[in-house]
Amino acid sequence: MAALRPLSCRLTFLTERRSEWQRLERRNIYKKKWASSRPRVPNTQLALHNMDMSYSLQFGERWPSIRLALLCQQKYAALLNGFGDVEAALREMERRQAGDFVYESRRERAGQGPDWTSRARPRLRPAQDGQTPASAGPAPPASGGDTAREPPSVLETNRSVPISPNLKCFTYPRGDITRFRPARPDSLRLLEYYLMDAASLLPVLVLDVQPGHTVLDLCAAPGGKSLALLQTECCRHLAVNDISTSRLSRLRKILHSYVPKNARTEDRLRITSFDGRHWGEVERNTFDRVLVDVPCTTDRHSVLEEDNNIFSRLRLRERQRLPLLQTQLLVSGILATKPGGSIVYSTCSLSQLQNEYVVERAVEVAETEHNMELRLVDLTAIRTLYSDTFNFHGCCRVGELVLPHLTANYGPMYFCKLHRIH
């Protein structure tokens, strides 16, 4: 019996070790399960990491301030609904001490005093000494005013920077983070104003829609720019298109809330859901003005919202194909424009790949494959005109770029204008 003890001890030892090995193996199995179920990096973090790598090279020392502004609360403006009770809305803006940046900037740059007849409280900023007066487009008459009262020099500078008329968009001064309350129905049962990023209005302004023009908004949803185009009251016919039927449904609701029925008739407004890349084949040489506000990485949304985030791993291929899609849409918009007409391309991205490079490539395709002659329109005067309201990059190869900044947290918004010669 004594001789068997060492053997029994060894058996006991092996049994214990076997139990330990089994426990170790089972633990490893659970480790694998834990690893597979571990939460992934949020889409917003993926977006921010991607932007840190690319935009830090593009903007250098300016990127930290841009990054901070993107992560902070966006600033909104109020686009006045010209179809509603305008007088009541103007009194409301005066009470809130908000100013119409569209018209006031033109008067101030022209060396004029504030427009007291507009009922909106002006932001008093005297013109700087030695500054060249600049204005933008035919100035809309103030409430109860007369454009004939303006001196000839102002009208002359207006022609040098043409912009779409009849638009009033109210903002608070730089550094003022006051927010507008949600719009309410007025006495005409239309909403008083539309809250939007003020920089989103710039592509509509530089499109320079004039009375009698036919206009195409190729990628219209969710509808802010389409609403602004209708507010100009210059569109003889406006074609509003977006490939997404769900987004078009939202656009229809916006138009129904802001535009009276007699301004939404079929002869004046057409809403379609069509692949914009082929529009130039269907209606070629048709429109006086074309707005191509393309799908993009929507930088501000991407760093703040998880839902529908294009930086999701599942949408990697879609994001990589964006520049090609944007180029195709812009070429289609160029084809749909009449000779002598204008095209404005815009995104809400900071990326050069989606901005300048897309414009340059589209112009090359239009000239080589379609034998069209295009001219890039210099928008330096627009940058000068609205430099008190927005922070412009000023170093774009073509076009203009509004950069987010804490003192005026609008954008990002890139826009570039092309004129078709033939």
Q: Is the pLDDT of residue 84 over 90?
A: yes
Whole-number pLDDT of residue 158: 41
- Residue 18: band (very low, low, confident or very high) from pLDDT cuts 50, 70, 90: low
Confidence bin at 19 (pLDDT 50/70/90) = low
Place of tokens 């076997």: 18
Best CA proximity match to 334, nearest among 414, 227, 218: 218
Cα–Cα dist 175/118, whole Å:
24
| Cα–Cα distance measured from residue 267 to residue 218, given in angstroms and rounded to the nearest whole number | 18
Q: What is the pLDDT of residues 305-316, one digit of tens each?
A: 999 899 999 999
pLDDT tens track for 147-182? 333 333 322 334 456 788 889 999 999 989 999 999
Q: How confident is the model at residue 209 (pLDDT cuts 50, 70, 90)?
A: very high
Residue 24 within a domain: no
Mean per-residue pLDDT of the chain: 84
Percent of all residues in the chain with a pLDDT value above 90, rounded to a whole number? 71
Q: What is the pLDDT of residue 134?
A: 33
Q: How many CB atoms lie within 10 A of CB 11?
A: 10
Residue 23 placed within a domain:
no
On the question of pLDDT at 254 being above 70, the answer is yes
Q: What would the mean pLDDT of 75-99 be, rounded to a whole number?
A: 95
Instruction: In whole angstroms, give the CA distance from residue 361 to residue 356.
Output: 9
Which of the residue ranges 16-20, 266-270, 363-367 has the most confident prediction, judged by mean pLDDT?
A: 363-367
Residue with tokens 């947290």: 409
In single-letter form, the type of residue at position 204 comes to V
- Give the residue ranges of DSSP H helices in 78-220: 86-95, 101-109, 152-160, 202-207
| Domain contains 45 | no
pLDDT band, residue 318 (cuts 50/70/90): very high
120-145 confidence digits (pLDDT tens): 333 323 333 333 333 333 333 333 33
More confident residue, 25 or 343: 343
Model confidence band, residue 355 (pLDDT cutoffs 50, 70, 90): very high
Residue 15 reports pLDDT greater than 80: no
Task: Give the residue numbers annotated as catalytic, written as ranges.
Answer: 348
Enter the tokens of residue 296: 């993009």
Angstrom distances, CA of residue 64 to CA of 43, 48, 294, 389, 414:
20, 12, 27, 21, 19
**Neighbour tally for 234: CB within 10 Å:** 20
pLDDT at 402: 98
Residue that wins the pLDDT comparison between 57 and 138:
57
Percent of the chain beyond pLDDT 70?
Answer: 77
Closest-CA residue to 198 (of 27, 79, 358, 310): 79
Please compute the mean of the pLDDT values over residues 360-371 and round it to a whole number: 96
Residue 37 lies in a domain: no
Bridge partners of residue 78, in order along the sequence: 170, 195
47-56, 157-166, 184-193, 218-227: which range is least confident on average? 157-166
Cβ-based burial of 413 (10 A; exposed 0-12, middle 13-18, buried ≥19): buried
Q: At 184, is the secondary structure helix, strand, or coil?
A: coil
Length of the chain in residues, anyone? 422
pLDDT of residue 162: 77
Residue 43 within a domain: no
pLDDT at residue 165 in the model: 87
Residues 200 and 225: their CA atoms lie apart, in Å, by 7
pLDDT number for residue 117: 34
Q: Which of 125-134, 232-241, 343-352, 376-385 has the lowest mean pLDDT?
A: 125-134
CATH classification of the domain holding 104? 3.40.50.150
The stretch 402-422 carries a mean pLDDT of: 96
**Mean pLDDT over residues 226-248, rounded?**
95
For residue 111, being part of any structural domain is answered with yes
Domain membership of residue 173 (yes or no) is yes
CA distance 128 to 16: 89
The total of structural domains in the chain comes to 1
Q: State the Cα–Cα distance between residues 376 and 359, nearest whole angstrom.
A: 9
* pLDDT tens-digit series, residues 174-194: 989 999 999 999 999 999 999
Residue 225 lies in a domain: yes
Range of the domain at 384: 52-420
**Do the bridges between strand 287-293 and strand 337-347 make them parallel or antiparallel, or are there none, so unpaired?**
parallel
